[in-house]
């Protein structure tokens, strides 16, 4: 297969180009090979499972333990245990070998089994809560833990119905299984992902492209102006959109609190038609060569696994809540990722920056109406 990958790189199209992106099939094969051999060694899977549990502060029997120091918000404070909304089997590392993995038995309902979930008393609100916690878990994995499970498909996710002493349902928890495939991120990769999420929330073209640069996905010869035009076009035409959600109680872990405190607008972020009329840089009616834009990007292997995880998570999330999308669901928990002080500091800076930008835009439009070019 490695020889085939080399032949494809050499003879099929331009070398180092996969779907318009600067990447080679041989590099993709090598990364996939590494992941495969890790998956068939249970010592690696045991290590991955232990790290996941420690990052989220989940101990044996689903008890709360202190999260690992690597799971700290951007203000340096260790995040609280997620044991109230996440469960994962405890691994008995001393009993595990390359060929045998010994774990705690944690029964659950398959996350896509609608009939069993209904029979167990899992309500619509519970399902929405589970979908939101799935997004919250991956926001934390991508941006703080810098270590994530690449396979959040229904076979690896369950729902644990927690019952009180009288047998009544008291809460629900996501159960994560199977850590044979996991991936680590570098600091700038994790920070760039968070920057992209915030830029999409704000529909901020400049910050979105700056985030791409921080992530290391833009080639040195990239035409930044063209990349910005493409991002702006995606925002204006609605190719990239989010649902406007504001939560008073950010980081709530109880479904009833989420339902009570959430102020949800069913209206998705509309294509910026009004903005397009006022903004002379609008690209909504401009033809953009997508293949040319793709040639400005290079995708390290880590992002292939990020994309795969988000794609699988999106399918699971929509199965729980038809209105689910990762960024909208994760948005309320950015304050958790950043820490309150850092979040407020960034929000204040963003507010001032927006005021300045609006002032400059107003000046440019005034100069343009007077018959002059603002750039001159």
Q: What contacts 118, CB < 8 A, 6 or more positions away?
A: none
* DSSP, residue by residue, 306-375: HHHHHHHHHHHHHHH-TT--HHHHHGGGHHHHH-HHHHHHHHHHHHHHHHHHHHHHHHHHHHHHTT--TT
- List C-alpha distances in Å: 135 to 139, 142, 312: 6, 10, 12
Alpha helices by DSSP H, the chain: 2-11, 25-39, 42-56, 114-119, 124-140, 187-202, 205-215, 224-236, 255-261, 273-278, 290-294, 301-320, 326-330, 334-338, 340-369
Q: Is the model's pLDDT at 124 over the cut of 60?
A: yes
Residue 196: phi and psi, rounded to 5, are -65, -45
Q: Is the model's pLDDT at 286 over the cut of 70?
A: no
102 occurs within a structural domain:
yes
Q: Is the model's pLDDT at 39 over the cut of 80?
A: no
CB atoms within 10 A of CB 34: 11
109 occurs within a structural domain:
yes
- The range of the structural domain enclosing residue 180 comes to 2-6+22-184
294 occurs within a structural domain:
no
How far is the C-alpha of 67 from the C-alpha of 80, rounded, in Å?
6
Task: Note whether 271 and 240 are within 8 A (CB).
Answer: no
More confident residue, 87 or 5: 87
CB atoms within 10 A of CB 348: 10
111 occurs within a structural domain:
yes
Q: Work out the average pLDDT over 3-23.
A: 71
Number of compact structural domains in the chain: 1
How far is the C-alpha of 55 from the C-alpha of 163, rounded, in Å?
25
Please give the pLDDT value at position 13. Answer: 56
Q: Work out the average pLDDT over 115-126.
A: 96
234 occurs within a structural domain:
no
33 occurs within a structural domain:
yes
317 occurs within a structural domain:
no
Please give the pLDDT value at position 365. Answer: 81
More confident residue, 20 or 296: 296
Q: Work out the average pLDDT over 123-150.
A: 97
117 occurs within a structural domain:
yes
Q: Is the model's pLDDT at 91 over the cut of 70?
A: yes
Please give the pLDDT value at position 17. Answer: 63
Q: Work out the average pLDDT over 270-296.
A: 64
- pTM, 2 dp: 0.79
How far is the C-alpha of 322 from the C-alpha of 35, rounded, in Å?
32
Least confident of 51-55, 113-117, 120-124, 238-242: 238-242
């Amino acid at each position: 297969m490695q020889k085939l990958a080399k032949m494809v790189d050499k003879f099929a199209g331009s070398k180092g180009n996969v779907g318009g992106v600067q990447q080679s099939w041989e590099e993709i094969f090598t990364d996939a090979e590494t992941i495969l051999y890790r998956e068939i060694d249970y010592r690696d899977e045991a290590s991955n499972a232990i790290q996941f549990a420690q990052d989220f502060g989940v101990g044996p029997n689903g008890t709360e333990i202190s999260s690992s120091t690597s799971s700290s918000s951007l203000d340096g404070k260790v995040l609280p245990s997620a044991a109230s909304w996440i469960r994962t089997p405890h691994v008995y590392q001393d009993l595990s070998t390359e060929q045998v993995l010994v774990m705690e038995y944690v029964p659950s309902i398959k996350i896509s089994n609608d009939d069993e979930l209904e029979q167990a008393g899992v309500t619509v609100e519970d399902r929405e809560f589970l979908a939101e916690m799935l997004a919250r878990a991956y926001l934390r994995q991508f941006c703080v833990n810098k270590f994530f499970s690449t396979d959040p498909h229904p076979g690896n996710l369950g729902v644990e119905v927690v019952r009180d002493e009288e047998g009544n349902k008291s809460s629900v928890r996501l159960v994560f299984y199977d850590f044979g495939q996991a991936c680590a991120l570098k600091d700038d990769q994790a920070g760039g992902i968070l920057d992209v999420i915030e830029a999409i929330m704000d529909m901020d073209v400049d910050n979105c492209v700056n985030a791409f640069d921080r992530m290391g996905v833009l080639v040195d010869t990239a035409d930044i102006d063209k990349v910005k035009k493409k991002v702006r076009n995606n925002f204006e035409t609605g190719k990239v959109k989010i649902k406007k959600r504001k939560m008073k109680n950010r980081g709530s872990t109880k479904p009833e609190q989420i339902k009570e405190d959430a102020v949800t607008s069913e209206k998705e972020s509309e294509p910026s038609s009004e903005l397009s009329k006022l903004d002379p840089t609008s690209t909504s009616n401009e033809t953009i060569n997508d293949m040319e834009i793709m040639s400005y990007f290079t995708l390290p292997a880590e992002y292939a696994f990020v994309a795969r995880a988000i794609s699988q998570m999106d399918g699971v999330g929509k199965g729980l809540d038809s209105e689910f999308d990762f960024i909208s669901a994760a948005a309320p928990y950015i304050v958790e990722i950043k820490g309150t002080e850092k979040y407020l500091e960034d929000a204040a800076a963003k507010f001032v920056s927006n005021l300045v930008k609006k002032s400059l835009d107003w000046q440019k439009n005034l100069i343009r109406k007077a018959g002059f070019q603002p750039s001159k």
